Amino acid sequence: MHGFAYKNGSLFCENVDLQTLAETHGTPLYVYSANTILDHFRRLDQALAGIDHEVAYAVKANSNLSVLRLLAKENAGFDIVSGGELYRVIKAGGDPAHCTFAGVGKTRAEIEYALQQGIYSFNVESEAELRYIDQVAGDLGVVAPVAVRVNPNVDAKTHKYISTGKSENKFGVDFGFIEEVYDRASKELKNVKLRGLQMHIGSQLTSVDPFVEAVKKVAPLATSLKEKHGIEFWSIGGGIGIVYRESLESGAQDWWDKKADAERPLTIEEYGASIMPLIKDLGLNILLEPGRYIVGNAGVLLTHCLYEKKGTAKTFKIVDAGMNDLIRPALYEGHHEIVPLKEPNAERLKVDVVGPICESGDFFCQDRELPDFQPGETVALMSAGAYGFVMASNYNTRPLPAEILVDGSTATVVRKRQTLDDLLVGEL
C-alpha cells in the first residue's frame, strides 16, 4: 500500500495536497512519501523476523540523500553498484560495514575506495574480477571480503532488460562452475576472504514461484560452501514486484481484500511465508536486496498538461515532463497510471500522453483510456519512486526536476530544480 489518495476531491501525498506542491514548486516534480518508504522497509524486515538477516536497500532504485537517510536511520544495509553510490550512502549516514558492492565492471578506483571504507563484501560477478580484487587488495596490503554471484539459470519471467538470472544474462557465474571458482580462490588467492554467496534473478517479479525455484536450487550450494569455505552469509537478492496497473487504487486495504487469490499481486507476507521455510535452518545471515519494492509506489511524477492536439488518428495530450525525466515507458515499455490531481468523473477518452522531447519514443502511454484532463491541469504519473529520477538526463538540454519528500503534513525540497546555469557547469 502507499500514501497517495484523493481527499475532498484532490490528490494528496500523506497530508499534503499535490496541487499545492505543483503550484509552489513547478513541474515536472517528483514527490515521495516518507511513511510509505518506511512502511515497506519495516514490513519486509518483519517478514524475516526470527532468523539472522539484513534488508540491504538497492541504492540504484532511488539514491536521493534524504531517502537514503531515512533508511540509514532504520539501520538498513545497502546494496551498491558504484563508488558513487557508496559515497552517497556514507554522506547519508549509512554504515559502509553494511554495504555490499555488486556490478560486473568495478574499476580499480572503486575497489580501492570500497576497501578503504571497509565495506561488508564485494559481490563478485566473474572469476576475472575476483582475481583482480585479490590483486588490488594485495597492493593495498589488506584482505578483501567477497561473495561470488551465482547465476542459477532460473527464468524470472520478467522484461528481458531486467532479467538477470539466466545463463544468457551478463550477471554472475554459471551454476555449474561456481564451486570450482570457490575452490580455486581458497587455494590460490591469499588476499580475499570468501565471506558469502550471492544471487539475484531479476526485477519486478509478480509471482513467488521463481523465487522459490531459485532458493531451492541454490540452498544446497550455500550449505556446501558454508561447510567447505566457512561462508557466513547468503544474499538471495531482491526483485519483489510492485503494483503498476491500478496503482492508485492499491493504496487502500480494501482493494487487496477484494482481489481473488489468483488475481492478488505478490505480497510481502506471501513472499516471507514461502521463502522462510527454505532458509531458516541454514545457519547463514540472509541478505535481501530490495529497491523497487521499498520506493516504487512511494513516489509520483507531477506534470502539467500544455496542449491538446487532435488528429485524424489520435488525440495527444502534450505534457511538460519527458522521457528525460522518466524513461521507463520508452526503455522498458513500463506502465505508469496517469491520474489528474482533481478527482475525475467517470468519462474517459482514448489518448496518447506525450512529452516535449524530439523523439517518437517520448510518450508515457499510447491509446489509453484516461480521464479527459485539459491543458492547464496537472496529472500524476504513479509508481515513479523507483528508476525515475535516478535515470533522468539532461537530453534536449532540459534541467532535471526538483524532488520533494513528504512526511505527514510536512513537504521538504530534497533536491532543487536545476537551473539553466547549472546545465553548463564544467563546460568550457
* Residues 76-106 pLDDT 10s: 999 999 999 999 999 999 999 999 999 999 9
Same domain, 153 and 26: no
Domain extent, residue 252, equals: 35-292
Same domain, 56 and 17: no
Q: Considering the domain boundaries, does residue 428 fall inside one?
A: no
User: Which of 237, 257, 292 marks a domain boundary?
Assistant: 292
pLDDT for residue 164 is more than 50: no
Confidence of residue 163 (pLDDT cuts 50, 70, 90): very low
Same domain, 141 and 113: yes
pLDDT for residue 166 is more than 50: no
pLDDT digits (tens, 9 = 90+) for 313-340: 899 999 999 999 999 999 988 999 999 9
Distances (CA, A) of 233 to 51, 192, 212: 12, 15, 18
Mean per-residue pLDDT of the chain: 94
Which parts are annotated binding residues?
239, 289-292, 328, 332, 359, 387
Domain CATH code at residue 149: 3.20.20.10
Q: Which residue has the cell 513541474?
A: 27
User: Which of 292, 326, 341 marks a domain boundary?
Assistant: 292
pLDDT for residue 175 is more than 50: yes
Q: How many domains does the chain have?
A: 2
pLDDT for res 278:
94
Which parts are annotated binding residues for substrate?
292, 328, 332, 359, 387
Cβ contacts of residue 369 below 8 Å, gap of 6+? 348, 349, 350, 351
Instruction: Tally Cβ neighbours within 10 Å of residue 97.
Output: 11
pLDDT digits (tens, 9 = 90+) for 210-224: 899 999 999 999 999
Domain CATH code at residue 15: 2.40.37.10
Query: What's the angle, vertex CA 100, arms to CA 238 and CA 41, rounded to 5?
Result: 45
Q: Which position among 13, 305, 358, 365 bears the catalytic label?
A: 358
Task: Note every long-range contact of 205-210, with CB atoms under 8 Å and residues 24 or more positions apart, other chains counting.
Answer: 205/156, 205/157, 205/158, 205/239, 205/240, 205/241, 205/266, 206/241, 206/265, 206/266, 207/157, 207/266, 208/266, 208/270, 208/271, 208/274, 208/275, 210/154, 210/155, 210/156, 210/157, 210/165
In percent, the amount of the chain with pLDDT more than 70 equals 96
pLDDT for residue 165 is more than 50: no
Confidence of residue 170 (pLDDT cuts 50, 70, 90): low
pLDDT digits (tens, 9 = 90+) for 31-60: 999 999 999 999 999 999 989 999 999 999
Please state the pTM of the whole predicted model. Answer: 0.94
Same domain, 224 and 346: no
pLDDT digits (tens, 9 = 90+) for 235-266: 999 989 999 999 999 999 999 989 888 888 88
Same domain, 114 and 61: yes
User: Which of 292, 315, 344 marks a domain boundary?
Assistant: 292
358 a catalytic residue:
yes
C-alpha cell at 273: 511465508
Which parts are annotated binding residues for pyridoxal 5'-phosphate?
239, 289-292, 387
Same domain, 227 and 371: no
